[in-house]
Amino acid sequence: MPLPTERENHDNRVYPSFLSQLLRNYIFGSTVAVAGVGGIIVFSTLTIPENEQLTLAAIMLISLLIMIGIELLVFYRHIKPIQILFKAEKPTSKQLKIAYVQTHRFPTLAVKRTFGPHFLGLLLPAIGMAYLCIRLGWLKLPYFYIGIAAAVALMIASMHAMIEFFLTTRAIHPVITYIRNKHKELYFQDITLGGQVLVSIRTKFRLSAFLIGTLPLLLFGLASQIRFDSLQGEGSLDYWKWAGLILVIGIIYSLLGASLLSRNIEDPIHMIQHGMSSVQAGNLETSAADIYSDEFSKLVAGFNHMVNGLREREQRNNQLLQSYFMTLAAALDARDTYTAGHSTRVARFSVQIGRLDGWSDSQIDILHKTALLHDIGKIGVRDAVLLKEGRLTDEEFDQIKLHPVLGENILKQIEPADAMADLLPGVRSHHERYDGKGYPDGLAGQSIPLFGRAIAIADAFDAMTSDRPYRKGMSAERALSILEEGKGTQWDPHLTQLFVDACRKKGHMEEDVS
């Protein structure tokens, strides 16, 4: 039985991790809002005998158990589409899409569960039991305290709902990423909301700001009403000890809410900024993960659409530029039927040398373009000299030796200038010799540009193996022997040996030469 891969292990952990994260979020939110805020307010505000405190604790415990039972039923219904997805051996496209939308809805569903089974499931039993206990005399509290308790419970539920919303928003991201990757893997298509807004930023900001700013004050006001009613002449020092505790709770809650809210806004902004930086660096293969359900989904979709457009334009420009280079090389070769295809063959041999030496894809691309145009300067050489069938005079050879510089000058006229800048060194230096006796600059060794050294080898090999009007091309083996004899003097020794060994291994490249 084959062992599971690292990716399979990660995929198998996604759903359990999601459930455990939801449980941690629920415990945290309940502890902060219900047990923390609610418990402190109830038991620090009310001055009641110990036996009545036990009665209140029993009411809260029974109500809590009822709430948990109802909430679990609703939670199971909400989680079921996602659970079905992770249980399926090969989920259908429809199942993946339903689970994708349901996962995005989970923060909103968490709010509904908080105000539905969580709030009402706790409040209604608690009110009923409290009313009964007051009537039976087990609790000696005014009946209007039940109304105040209901109002406090509503505000505590609001606190809990906000905390749950923002924590769940972060918890769903791994599940959303898994579903998208699974759909691309199985059906070769991405899933996104396509700009659909499930919860608007305006709603999140307005409700969050309202809760953060007003709930602590409302809680303080309601708790003060109870406290003043029960003070009955107690000292002000005791009152302010209590009041300070309530204020500290309000401040802590406000800081927590503001932190969650700002992080929820900052995360997608940072992700898009990272994508923009990647695009600015020239990486058009980047994309922003569409894992949001608010207006950021539109922003991410717009960013990805922009990058796709840039990528398509870049590909088109590269195709046009490549065609431009091929056209220039063909125009040059057309001047002499005996050298037709020379530039293309030199480009192919040069690329082989670069790959043998392990050059990067970007270097190979520049080398190919440079090799195609290495003889472009021959356009400036008179036909009487360029096409002469016999031996050239010294004066005529001097004219030929000008073509590397002429080629560089021609390419410098092309705008924008940076489009040809990387090609210039190789075009100018492809007739330099490793021993410094070449032209036009008499460069030697490693001071000769790398592209020029590679093209010099390819150019010489093609020249030796091609037919001319005044001679027949020599065999590939003879040309390779000449290259080997001239390594270190005329040609780069390392690159030359790589080329020679590769040619001999492939049968002297007879197919390429033909």
Mean pLDDT of the chain: 82
Is there a domain that residue 290 lies in?
A: no
- pLDDT beyond 60 at 328: yes
User: How confident is residue 1, by pLDDT bands cut at 50, 70 and 90?
Assistant: very low
Structural domain range at position 494: 311-513
Tokens matching residue 274: 């990272």
Same domain, yes or no: 59 and 142: yes
Say yes or no: 171 and 81 in one domain: yes
One domain, residues 324 and 271: no
* 293 assigned to some structural domain: no
CA distances to 313, 389, 424, 443 from 418, rounded to whole Å, are 18, 38, 10, 24
Of 275, 319, 323, nearest to 296 by C-alpha is: 275
**501 in the same domain as 382:** yes
Task: Tell me, yes or no, whether 407 and 480 share the same domain.
Answer: yes
222 — pLDDT class (breaks 50, 70, 90) = low
Same domain? 256 vs 318: no
- Could you tell me the end-to-end alpha-carbon distance of the chain, in angstroms, rounded to an integer? 52
CA 414 centroid distance within chain = 36
Exposed, middle or buried, 495 (CB in 10 Å: 0-12/13-18/19+)? buried
Structural domain includes residue 297: no
> What is the rounded average pLDDT of the residues 137-163?
82
Q: Given pLDDT bands bounded at 50, 70 and 90, which one contains residue 479?
A: very high
120 located within any domain: yes
Whether residue 89 is contained in a domain is answered as yes
Whether residues 266 and 364 fall in one domain: no
343 or 227, greater pLDDT: 343
127-134 contacts, C-beta under 8 A, 24 or more apart: 129/59, 129/62, 129/63, 130/56, 130/59, 133/55, 133/59
Q: Judge whether residue 409 has pLDDT over 60.
A: yes
pLDDT tens digits along 439-476: 999 999 999 999 999 999 999 999 898 876 666 778 88
pLDDT of residue 353: 95
Residue 333 vs residue 387, higher pLDDT: 333
Greater pLDDT, 424 or 142: 424
Q: How many domains does the chain have?
A: 2
How crowded is residue 70: how many other Cβ atoms within 10 Å of its Cβ? 18
pLDDT of residue 507: 65
| C-alpha dist (Å) from residue 497 to 457, 480, 483, 484 | 10, 9, 8, 7
Question: Which distant-in-sequence residues (6+ apart) come within 8 Å of 209 by Cβ?
Answer: 261
User: Is residue 194 domain-shared with residue 338, that is, in the same domain?
Assistant: no
Dihedral sign for Cα atoms in the order 175, 176, 177, 182: positive
CA distances in angstroms from 233 to 42, 237, 330, 332, 507, listed in the order given: 20, 12, 105, 107, 109
Among 229, 263, 283, the domain-final residue is 283
In a domain, 84, yes or no: yes
Distances (CA, A) of 192 to 95, 197, 267, 268, 298: 14, 11, 18, 15, 10
Query: Domain check: are 277 and 214 in the same one?
Result: yes
Q: Which residues pair with 490 in a beta bridge?
A: none
In terms of domains, do 277 and 351 share one?
Answer: no
279 with 315, same domain: the answer is no
Report the percentage of the chain scoring pLDDT > 90: 32
Interval 167-184 mean pLDDT: 92
User: What pLDDT score was predicted for residue 242?
Assistant: 67
Token representation of residue 251: 């401040």
Beta partners for residue 471, in sequence order:
468
Distance from C-alpha of 303 to C-alpha of 287, rounded to nearest angstrom: 8
Instruction: Clarify whether residues 22 and 154 are in a common domain.
Output: yes
Report d(CA 275, CA 288) in Å as an integer: 6
> pLDDT tens digit string along 15-55?
999 999 998 888 877 776 665 555 555 555 566 777 887 88
Q: What is the pLDDT of residues 307-316, one digit of tens each?
A: 888 888 888 8
Structure confidence at residue 177 as a pLDDT band (50, 70, 90): very high
Backbone angles phi, psi at 126, to 5 degrees: -65, -45
- Answer yes or no: is pLDDT of 509 > 90: no
Instruction: Tell me what the mean pLDDT of segment 218-241 comes to.
Output: 61
